[in-house]
């Protein structure tokens, strides 16, 4: 069962990484305009003509 | 005299020599609009950034100071077909945004912790019935503690703070038993873990926090959404005023007006601020303030109030109170009195928690005493008592009402009703008497042509197109009948008389009888205003008056069918109220009422045990709205009135009043069902806990099961 000594912290570390990714996205305003993001992805004004 | 628009009030420094401004944009409907709106603004020289938030229809613009005038940005948007209105976000809205962010962060932390602790707990539970070694179990429990304690300290703050505040003021709210349950569960688990015990309740405590935070976050998100829409509508309504700067006229937003400013008010405009007339004569329509539909002549020295409509002539006004800050004294005094009476209403959730919290704490204490008396060791008695607290932790109870509120306010929002406060739903559900104001509530806020059927359609269309060249209120009312809004070329307005233009080579005139060359027929109908239209030899007389909202008759019938007692209390004359009451089939009506008389009518009804819903829009209704059990006002209402209404409804139709009552009644039924569900759950779970048979597994199942049940039941309120 010694494998748990590093498997449990690893699981926690991965979870924490996810948590910080979410908090970063929140702080960055990724959730402030959810409807707009869905529509912006369709516009191709960034494509060179 | 030139006219410039000065919007410097709204431009805020945005760092490094740039200015920023927030705009509410109209007409944004699809994905293509995003690029067009942003493109229109970005093309202006000096604009650094333009970003449209599609969710709340707001545009944020920043530009280098001194390169662009804010008015140019509005012009560019207007030219592209997107009228925009600058606004300063309300303080309440910003505070709510901060709370919402904090709640979301707390929810994320609690969710992360709940997932990881559950991962460890499930291993322990399955290990306990198979072959887990005590060392591994201890390791898992310590790992759980390591996650749970900091997570609870962070994510539990909203509950701890609120509970502490309640306790400090010697009150109990739902957060007190929640906080106590969480803290005791964590503390006991820590002690048990140190003693190598088989059970720890870290998962229950964190899961409880997570479920409750999900509920609160959703509640907040809903409230923020409606608040944003309300903010946009306020920006759309905000007008500009023409202010004299020396001899020049400058258009400024009404919010920038100060006492002492001199303003020019043209015919067809609303008076933007309270003030004294310095020059000019006109007639003003004060129906938004007093409910009176007959116009009042004003001249130098007259005092007029914000919200009045200027009819016939230009006025020069000295502002005495900007933004309608000073109301008519009488109304202000009545409002103060009314507002203090309202705070006594008790919310269903508070009532439930007032009963619930002492019962739970008493049960836990009795369990503890009972086990001690039965000869159990102190440790066992404490553990069982705490298990009772954990299992009764009011997860379902705390979700029961907010979950329904979220769903119901969503349904109300789709029906065109914006709530000012969450508990409005409960009060709306109990309504048995509805009092309507007449002017602007049962009738449309603006006058309409009432004799369309008897007029020659061709002449009416020509008249309506000609009317669109004038801003006189009667002409504006007439122009609403036009199919094509394009004005005729070369239309000339003669102030105070009418408009004329060449139509199909023949002169057409719209205006007073003499202006159109018609011998004035001797009729003086008190509630009708007439304008005449002559095209060559043909002429028509167009009657304009207050008109009922298009669905008023059906709505009144639907409300009566639901057993509601309907009445009209109006500030207008009896002769004007009577036909409306008759058309709608409302037997109980009163006219000529002063605000104080309206209040005493409502208070008499309340004293007789009636639950009164007041629907009104005028400034004279504001005190009645505050005094009634619950109140609604149309979006066209005076600002002060809207602020005192519990909810505001959009659009021309009266149907939202029925929807509000129907949705609120169903929501209230669901709330009660949910409270019963929570009570039944406790009735089953508490005896098990008192018997000392609760394991962490049972606690987790019971908690999530009951929360899920309550939430699913709340979702039944979705359909309107």
Q: Which residue is closest to A46 within chain B, CA to CA?
A: B35
Which residues in chain A have their CB less than 8 angstroms from residue B105's CB?
23, 26
Q: Please check whether residue A3 touches B, CB under 8 A.
A: no
β-strand partners of B85: B24
Backbone angles phi, psi at B244, to 5 degrees: -80, 125
Q: Look at residues B1, B31, B291 and name the one whose alpha carbon lies nearest to residue A37.
A: B31
Q: Look at residues B60, B50, B51, B57 and name the one whose alpha carbon lies nearest to residue B29.
A: B57
Pick from A15, A35, A42: CB nearest B55? A35
pLDDT of B241 > 60? The answer is yes
CB contact under 8 A, B116 and A11: yes
What digits encode the pLDDT tens for the residues B174-227?
788 888 889 988 999 999 999 998 888 899 899 889 988 988 888 888 778 777
**What pLDDT does B526 receive?**
59
pLDDT of B340 > 60? The answer is no
Mean pLDDT for chain B overall: 83
**What pLDDT does B108 receive?**
95
Chain B nearest C-alpha distance from A49 (Å): 16
CB contact under 8 A, B105 and A43: no
Chain B nearest C-alpha distance from A39 (Å): 5
The most confident of B255-264, B322-331, B625-634, by mean pLDDT:
B625-634
pLDDT of B1 > 50? The answer is no
Pick from A12, A34, A39: CB nearest B34? A39
CB contact under 8 A, A11 and B143: no
CB contact under 8 A, A26 and B119: no
CA distances from B602 to B269, B325, B428 (A): 34, 26, 16
Which two structure tokens, joined as six digits, stand for B375?
């000869």
Which residues in chain B have their CB less than 8 angstroms from residue A30's CB?
none
Mutant choice from B101, B116, B139, B144 vs A, greatest count of A C-beta within 10 A? B116
**What pLDDT does B2 receive?**
42
Specify whether the CB–CB gap between B510 and B499 falls below 8 A: yes
Pick from A16, A31, A39: CB nearest B54? A39
**What pLDDT does A46 receive?**
64
Which residues in chain A have their CB less than 8 angstroms from residue B115's CB?
15
CB contact under 8 A, A32 and B53: yes
Look at residue A2 and tell me if it is in a domain: no
Look at residue A49 and tell me if it is in a domain: no
Q: Which residue is closest to A21 within chain B, CA to CA?
A: B108
Look at residue A16 and tell me if it is in a domain: yes
**What pLDDT does B322 receive?**
65
Pick from A11, A18, A43: CB nearest B34? A43
CA angle B282, B295, B436 (to 5 degrees): 145
CB contact under 8 A, B55 and A11: no
Q: Look at residues B717, B635, B645, B662 and name the one whose alpha carbon lies nearest to residue B416.
A: B635
Structural domain tally of chain A?
A: 1
Specify whether the CB–CB gap between B60 and B50 falls below 8 A: yes
Q: Please check whether residue B115 touches A, CB under 8 A.
A: yes
Q: Please check whether residue A47 touches B, CB under 8 A.
A: no
Give A27's contacts (C-beta < 8 A, 6+ positions apart): none
Which residues in chain A have their CB less than 8 angstroms from residue B56's CB?
33
Mutant choice from B22, B25, B31, B113 vs A, greatest count of A C-beta within 10 A? B31
Q: Cα-atom radius of gyration of chain B, to the nearest Å?
A: 32
Q: What is the pTM of this model?
A: 0.79
Which residues in chain A have their CB less than 8 angstroms from residue B39's CB?
45
Look at residue A45 and tell me if it is in a domain: no
CA angle B210, B214, B220 (to 5 degrees): 140
Look at residue A18 and tell me if it is in a domain: yes
Q: B157-167: buried (b, 16+ CB within 10 Å) or exposed (e) per residue?
A: ebbbebbeebe
Chain B nearest C-alpha distance from A12 (Å): 7
| pLDDT confidence bin for B524, thresholds 50/70/90 | low
pLDDT of B231 > 80? The answer is no
Which residues in chain B have their CB less than 8 angstroms from residue A36's CB?
34, 52-55
Mean per-residue pLDDT, B510-534: 74
Look at residue A15 and tell me if it is in a domain: yes
Look at residue A17 and tell me if it is in a domain: yes
Q: Please check whether residue B35 touches A, CB under 8 A.
A: yes
The C-alpha atoms of residue B560 and residue B566 are separated, in whole angstroms, by: 7
Which residues in chain B have their CB less than 8 angstroms from residue A4's CB?
136, 139
CB contact under 8 A, B54 and A19: no
**What pLDDT does B157 receive?**
94
**What pLDDT does B612 receive?**
92
Mean pLDDT for chain A overall: 84
Backbone angles phi, psi at B693, to 5 degrees: -100, 5
Which two structure tokens, joined as six digits, stand for B138?
């201890």
| pLDDT confidence bin for B657, thresholds 50/70/90 | very high
Look at residue A47 and tell me if it is in a domain: no
**What pLDDT does B330 receive?**
60
pLDDT of B376 > 90? The answer is no
Q: Look at residues B330, B189, B175, B266 and name the one whose alpha carbon lies nearest to residue B470.
A: B266
The helix (run of H) or strand (run of E) holding residue B182 is: helix B175-194
β-strand partners of B540: B533
Which residues in chain B have their CB less than 8 angstroms from residue A1's CB?
133, 136
Chain B nearest C-alpha distance from A28 (Å): 12
**What pLDDT does B338 receive?**
63
Pick from A12, A33, A45: CB nearest B55? A33
Q: Cα-atom radius of gyration of chain A, to the nearest Å?
A: 19
Residue ranges of A 16-35 with Cβ closer than 8 A to chain B: 16, 18-19, 22-23, 26, 31-35
Q: Please check whether residue A7 touches B, CB under 8 A.
A: no
CB contact under 8 A, B147 and A12: yes
What digits encode the pLDDT tens for the residues B266-299?
887 888 888 889 888 888 888 777 777 778 888 8
DSSP category for residue B443 = B
More confident residue, B586 or B399: B586
Specify whether the CB–CB gap between B302 and B265 falls below 8 A: no
Which residues in chain A have their CB less than 8 angstroms from residue B52's CB?
36
Phi-psi region of B307 (alpha: psi -120 to 50; beta: other; left: phi over 0): left
Q: Please check whether residue B53 touches A, CB under 8 A.
A: yes
pLDDT of B487 > 60? The answer is yes
β-strand partners of B419: B647
The C-alpha atoms of residue B596 and residue B337 are separated, in whole angstroms, by: 11
Which residues in chain B have their CB less than 8 angstroms from residue A32's CB?
53, 55
Pick from A12, A22, A33: CB nearest B53? A33
Percent of chain B exceeding pLDDT 70 equals 93
Q: Please check whether residue A14 touches B, CB under 8 A.
A: no
Mean per-residue pLDDT, B529-537: 83
The helix (run of H) or strand (run of E) holding residue B275 is: strand B274-279
All structural domains of chain B:
1-88 (3.30.70.100), 91-236 (1.20.120), 238-326 (2.70.150.10), 416-443+549-665 (3.40.50.1000), 448-545 (3.40.1110.10)
C-alpha torsion sign, points B105, B108, B114, B120:
negative
E strand segments, B406-513 = 417-419, 433-436, 448-449, 492-494, 498-503, 506-511
| pLDDT confidence bin for B525, thresholds 50/70/90 | low
Q: Which residue has the tokens 């045990």?
A: B609
More confident residue, B97 or B640: B97
The C-alpha atoms of residue B633 and residue B611 are separated, in whole angstroms, by: 17
Q: Which residue is closest to A22 within chain B, CA to CA?
A: B108
Q: A26: domain range? A: 9-40
What digits encode the pLDDT tens for the residues B495-518?
777 888 888 888 888 888 878 877
Mean per-residue pLDDT, B364-387: 89
More confident residue, B636 or B325: B636
β-strand partners of B506: B503
CB contact under 8 A, B139 and A4: yes
The C-alpha atoms of residue B281 and residue B304 are separated, in whole angstroms, by: 12
Mutant choice from B43, B105, B133 vs A, greatest count of A C-beta within 10 A? B105
Specify whether the CB–CB gap between B700 and B121 falls below 8 A: yes
Which residues in chain A have their CB less than 8 angstroms from residue B54's CB?
33, 35-36, 39
The C-alpha atoms of residue B534 and residue B506 are separated, in whole angstroms, by: 10
Q: How many inter-chain contacts (A to B, CB under 8 Å) are there?
A: 56
**What pLDDT does B117 receive?**
93
Give B445's contacts (C-beta < 8 A, 6+ positions apart): B288, B617, B634, B636
Query: Annotated active-site positions of B, please?
Result: 437
What digits encode the pLDDT tens for the residues B82-116?
888 887 776 777 888 888 889 999 999 999 999 99
CB contact under 8 A, B53 and A12: no
The C-alpha atoms of residue B68 and residue B301 are separated, in whole angstroms, by: 41
DSSP category for residue B254 = G
What digits encode the pLDDT tens for the residues B673-720?
988 888 888 888 888 888 888 888 888 888 888 888 888 898 887 765
Give B230's contacts (C-beta < 8 A, 6+ positions apart): B418, B648
Q: Which residue has the tokens 């349904």?
A: B411
Mutant choice from A8, A44, A47 vs B, greatest count of B C-beta within 10 A? A8
Which two structure tokens, joined as six digits, stand for B326?
């000073």
Chain B nearest C-alpha distance from A2 (Å): 9
CA distances from B365 to B32, B352, B371, B372, B384 (A): 64, 20, 10, 11, 10
């Amino acid at each position: 069962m010694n494998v748990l000594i590093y498997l449990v912290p690893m699981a926690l570390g991965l979870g924490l990484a996810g948590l910080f990714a979410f908090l970063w996205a929140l702080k960055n305003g990724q959730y402030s305009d959810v409807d707009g993001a869905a529509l912006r992805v369709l516009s191709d004004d960034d494509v060179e003509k | 005299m030139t006219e410039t628009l000065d919007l410097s009030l709204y431009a805020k420094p945005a760092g490094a020599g740039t200015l920023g401004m927030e705009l509410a944009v109209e007409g944004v409907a699809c994905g293509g609009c995003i690029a067009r709106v942003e493109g229109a603004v970005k093309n202006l020289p000096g604009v650094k950034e333009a970003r449209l938030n599609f969710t709340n229809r707001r545009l944020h613009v920043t530009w280098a100071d001194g390169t662009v005038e804010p008015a140019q940005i509005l012009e560019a948007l207007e030219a592209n077909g997107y009228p925009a209105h600058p606004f300063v976000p309300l303080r309440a809205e910003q505070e709510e945004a901060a709370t919402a962010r904090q709640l979301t962060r707390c929810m994320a932390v609690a969710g992360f912790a709940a997932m990881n602790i559950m991962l460890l707990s499930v291993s322990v539970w399955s290990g306990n019935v198979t072959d887990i070694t005590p060392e591994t179990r201890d390791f898992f429990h310590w790992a759980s503690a390591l996650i749970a304690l900091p997570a609870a300290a962070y994510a539990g703050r909203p509950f701890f703070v609120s509970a502490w505040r309640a306790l400090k003021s010697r009150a109990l709210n739902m957060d007190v038993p929640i906080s106590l349950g969480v803290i005791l569960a964590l503390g006991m688990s820590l002690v048990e873990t140190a003693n190598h015990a088989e059970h720890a309740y870290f998962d229950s405590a964190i899961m409880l926090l997570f479920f409750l935070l999900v509920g609160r976050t959703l509640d907040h998100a809903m409230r923020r959404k409606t608040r944003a829409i309300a903010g946009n509508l306020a920006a759309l309504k905000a007008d500009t005023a023409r202010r004299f700067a020396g001899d020049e006229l400058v258009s400024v937003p009404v919010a920038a007006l100060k006492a002492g400013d001199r303003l020019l008010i043209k015919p067809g405009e609303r008076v933007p601020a309270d003030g004294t007339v310095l020059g000019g004569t006109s007639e003003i329509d004060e129906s938004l303030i007093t409910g009176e539909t007959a116009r009042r002549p004003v001249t130098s020295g007259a005092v007029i109030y914000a919200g009045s409509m200027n009819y016939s002539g230009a006025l020069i006004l000295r502002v005495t109170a900007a933004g309608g800050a000073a109301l008519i004294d009488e109304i202000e005094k009545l409002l103060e009195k009314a507002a203090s009476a309202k705070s006594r209403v008790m919310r269903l959730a508070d009532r439930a928690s007032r009963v619930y919290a002492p019962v739970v704490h008493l049960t836990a204490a009795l369990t503890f005493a009972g086990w001690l008396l039965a000869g159990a060791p102190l440790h066992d008695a404490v553990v069982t008592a705490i298990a009772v607290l954990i299992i009764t932790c009011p997860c379902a109870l705390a979700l029961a009402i907010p979950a329904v509120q979220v769903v119901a306010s969503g349904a109300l929002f789709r029906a065109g009703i914006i709530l000012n406060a969450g508990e409005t739903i409960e009060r709306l559900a109990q309504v048995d008497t509805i009092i309507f104001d007449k002017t602007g509530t049962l009738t449309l806020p603006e006058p309409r042509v009432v004799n369309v059927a008897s007029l020659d359609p061709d002449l009416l269309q020509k008249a309506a197109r000609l009317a669109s060249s004038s801003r006189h209120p009667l002409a504006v009312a007439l122009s609403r009948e036009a199919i094509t809004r394009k004005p005729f070329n070369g239309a000339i307005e003669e102030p105070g008389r009418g408009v004329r233009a060449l139509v199909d080579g023949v002169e057409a005139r719209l205006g007073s009888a003499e202006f159109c060359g018609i011998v004035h027929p001797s009729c003086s109908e008190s509630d009708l205003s007439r304008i005449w239209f002559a095209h060559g030899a043909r002429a028509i007389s167009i009657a304009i008056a207050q008109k009922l909202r298009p669905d008023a008759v059906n709505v009144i019938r639907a409300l009566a069918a639901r057993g509601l007692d309907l009445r009209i209390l109006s500030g207008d004359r009896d002769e004007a109220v009577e036909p409306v009451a008759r058309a709608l089939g409302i037997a109980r009506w009163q006219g000529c009422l002063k605000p104080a008389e309206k209040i005493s009518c409502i208070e008499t009804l309340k004293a007789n045990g009636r639950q009164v819903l007041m629907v009104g829009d005028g400034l004279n209704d504001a005190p009645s709205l505050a005094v009634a059990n619950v109140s609604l006002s149309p979006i066209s209402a005076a600002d002060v009135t809207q602020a005192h209404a519990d909810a505001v409804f959009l659009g021309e139709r009266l149907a939202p009043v029925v929807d509000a009552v129907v949705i609120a009644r169903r929501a209230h039924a669901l709330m009660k069902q949910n409270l019963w569900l929570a009570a039944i759950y406790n009735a089953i779970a508490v005896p098990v806990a008192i018997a000392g048979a609760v394991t962490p597994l049972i606690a987790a199942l019971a908690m999530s099961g009951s929360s899920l049940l309550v939430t699913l039941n709340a979702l039944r309120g979705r359909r309107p």
